[in-house]
């Protein structure tokens, strides 16, 4: 005989589903403003959201450990110690995120429970033998995204990983096959190659980073290949066959034998099981919650923030989502996604690739008349910092409006790109011209000094 659930009910002014960047920041701000807030998170391991637990912070911690591995370090033992360091840091951050909200008396935390809509702004939260019926004046959906599965036979095998489980693979695979050629795939390829794995990338397109200009993609490919990464394009995985000791990736080309496989073919919004139809919330392509530029869903007084709304899957974009919703709930309502200009991104390869604005091909498609300023990092005389670090791979490229000298976009494949790209983005937002960046006075030795050379007109 099954025991009946213990059911309680409550009404809250604001219900936040998911403890990601936007959700936790909104919960804290609204609670401190005097609103009653209930924050629901289905896993204690995800307090703080994807970024600090399984995404940005843990992976970049591993990237750094890989970069500083010494040639004499035993790969397997070193990798285990790097994972331990990762876990120690993430445990502290997870606890710190919980501690941020616990003192806010107006915020009720419900952890270890699954939420499902039962009607407009009505949610059933279930955890073990307990059930909580919650109604709210305002609902904020912040459930994030999940790795996209690979729909081929054997994709659920014991040696097949996604971007979360691969962080704890044990032992370090001597041979790692990666299905995918996008940012996540390339970050892990660079990382594991430096940890000591033989890495093979299998990309179904004709080149990696298909959204980038060809010269930028070629620069990244050259850096990866110099790290020992084998890149095979124009092939598609058709099956994963595990014989008990290794896994064979069958493809439309040659098969690849590996000790582990990483599937990195994108991420999809985490909306399955939320019961959004009962709430009257429209779901679009790939399961995303459809929102307008104010992040309002189709149902009244429901917002969706972070990766679940189908926007750029970046923590800092999620943080800006919180600003937009907070503006609607407590401010003048003036903030909007339409305000976003020159939002930068970085892929944390070695060296990293920072991007902002239009690529050369995108500018051409938009009918812009442009000048292109580009130079391989190894040939930039006024930029000694990469040489001091022993990492001179890369390319710095700017796309500039030929008539106004306005910076339309940039791709920075270089050491310190994750910092330098923010300066370029600010320049674009403030109307700073190519000439002004060229004439800037920058510290030495720094990667910023590249602007004094790359942005100069070509000599006759």
Specify the pLDDT at position 85.
97
Specify the pLDDT at position 2.
31
Specify the pLDDT at position 3.
38
| Length reported for the chain | 460
Q: What is the per-residue DSSP string for 383-422?
A: --HHHHHT----EEEEEEETTT-BEEEEEEESTTHHHHHH
Active centre residues (catalytic): 444
What whole-number distance in Å separates Cα of residue 392 and Cα of residue 405?
28
Q: Quick count: other Cβ atoms within 10 Å of Cβ 183?
A: 21
Instruction: Identify the architecture of domain 345-454 in CATH.
Output: 2-Layer Sandwich (3.30)
Please tell me the number of Cα atoms within 13 Å of 435 on its side-chain side.
5
Specify the pLDDT at position 181.
95
Q: Are 142 and 23 in contact (CB under 8 A)?
A: yes
List per-block mean pLDDT (blocks of 10 residues) for the chain, which spans 460 residues. Answer: 59 96 96 96 92 94 96 95 97 94 94 92 90 96 96 96 97 98 96 98 95 96 98 97 96 97 96 96 95 97 96 93 96 93 96 98 96 98 95 98 97 98 98 98 96 89
What whole-number distance in Å separates Cα of residue 330 and Cα of residue 29?
10
Specify the pLDDT at position 358.
98
Shared fold status for 6-147+268-339 and 345-454: no
pTM: 0.94
Query: Both tokens of residue 145?
Result: 């995204």
Tell me the per-residue pLDDT of 62-120, one tens digit each, with 9 for 90 and over: 999 999 999 999 999 999 999 999 999 999 999 999 999 999 999 999 998 899 999 99
- Region of 128 on the Ramachandran plot (φ > 0 left; ψ -120 to 50 alpha; else beta): left
Specify the pLDDT at position 220.
98
Q: Are 59 and 187 in contact (CB under 8 A)?
A: yes
Specify the pLDDT at position 380.
97
Q: Could you give the 3-state DSSP secondary structure of residue 219?
A: helix
Q: Are 190 and 394 in contact (CB under 8 A)?
A: no
Query: Of 3.40.630.30, 3.40.50.300, 3.50.50.60, 3.90.1150.170, which CATH number belongs to 160-265?
Result: 3.50.50.60
The domain defined by 6-147+268-339 carries CATH number 3.50.50.60? yes
Tell me the per-residue pLDDT of 238-286, one tens digit each, with 9 for 90 and over: 999 999 999 999 999 999 999 999 999 999 999 999 999 999 999 999 9
Sheet of strand 230-233, all strands in order from the earlier edge strand to the far edge: 160-161, 260-263, 175-179, 198-203, 230-233
Q: Could you give the 3-state DSSP secondary structure of residue 237?
A: strand
Specify the pLDDT at position 218.
97
Q: Are strands 237-242 and 130-141 parallel, antiparallel or unpaired?
A: unpaired
Query: Both tokens of residue 47?
Result: 């307090």
Specify the pLDDT at position 21.
94
Domain boundaries, the chain: 6-147+268-339, 160-265, 345-454
Specify the pLDDT at position 6.
65
- Region of 275 on the Ramachandran plot (φ > 0 left; ψ -120 to 50 alpha; else beta): left
């Amino acid at each position: 005989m099954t025991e009946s659930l213990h059911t309680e009910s409550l009404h809250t002014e604001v219900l936040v589903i998911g403890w990601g960047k936007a959700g936790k920041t909104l919960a804290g701000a609204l609670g401190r403003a005097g609103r009653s807030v209930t924050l629901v998170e289905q896993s204690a391991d995800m307090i703080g959201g994807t970024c600090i637990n399984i995404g940005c912070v843990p992976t970049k911690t591993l990237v750094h450990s890989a970069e500083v591995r010494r040639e004499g370090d035993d790969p397997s033992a070193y990798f285990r110690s790097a994972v331990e360091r990762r876990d120690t840091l993430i445990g502290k951050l997870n606890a710190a995120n919980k501690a941020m909200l616990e003192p806010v008396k107006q915020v009720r935390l419900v952890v270890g429970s699954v939420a499902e809509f039962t009607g407009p702004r009505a949610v059933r939260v279930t955890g073990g033998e307990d059930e909580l019926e919650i109604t709210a004046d305002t609902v904020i959906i912040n459930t994030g995204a999940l790795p996209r599965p690979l729909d081929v036979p054997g994709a659920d095998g014991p040696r097949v990983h996604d971007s979360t489980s691969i962080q704890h693979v044990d032992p370090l695979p001597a041979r790692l096959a990666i299905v995918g050629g996008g940012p996540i795939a390339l970050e892990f390829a660079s990382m594991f190659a430096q940890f000591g794995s033989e890495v093979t990338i299998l990309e179904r397109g004709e080149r990696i980073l298909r959204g980038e200009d060809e010269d930028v993609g070629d620069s990244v490919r050259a850096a990866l290949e110099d790290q020992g990464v084998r890149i095979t394009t124009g092939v598609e995985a058709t099956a994963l066959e595990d014989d008990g000791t290794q896994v064979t990736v069958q493809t439309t080309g040659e098969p690849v034998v590996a000790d582990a496989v990483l599937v990195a073919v994108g991420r999809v919004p985490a909306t399955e099981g939320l019961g959004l139809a009962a709430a009257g919330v429209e779901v679009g392509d790939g399961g995303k919650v459809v929102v307008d530029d104010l992040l309002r869903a189709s149902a009244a007084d429901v917002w969706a923030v972070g990766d679940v709304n189908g926007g750029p899957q970046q923590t800092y974009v999620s943080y800006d989502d919180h600003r937009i919703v907070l503006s609607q709930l407590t401010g003048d309502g003036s903030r909007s996604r339409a305000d976003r200009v020159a939002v930068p991104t970085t892929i944390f390869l070695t060296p990293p690739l920072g991007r902002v604005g239009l690529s050369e091909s995108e500018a051409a498609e938009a009918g812009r008349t442009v000048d292109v300023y580009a130079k391989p990092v190894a040939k930039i005389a006024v930029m000694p910092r990469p040489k001091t670090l022993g990492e001179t791979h890369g390319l710095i490229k700017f796309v500039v409006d030929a008539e106004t000298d306005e910076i339309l976009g940039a791709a920075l494949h270089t050491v310190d790109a994750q910092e330098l790209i923010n300066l370029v983005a600010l320049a674009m937002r403030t109307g700073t011209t190519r000439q002004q960046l060229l004439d800037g006075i920058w510290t030495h030795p720094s990667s910023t000094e590249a602007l004094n050379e790359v942005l100069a007109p070509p000599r006759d």
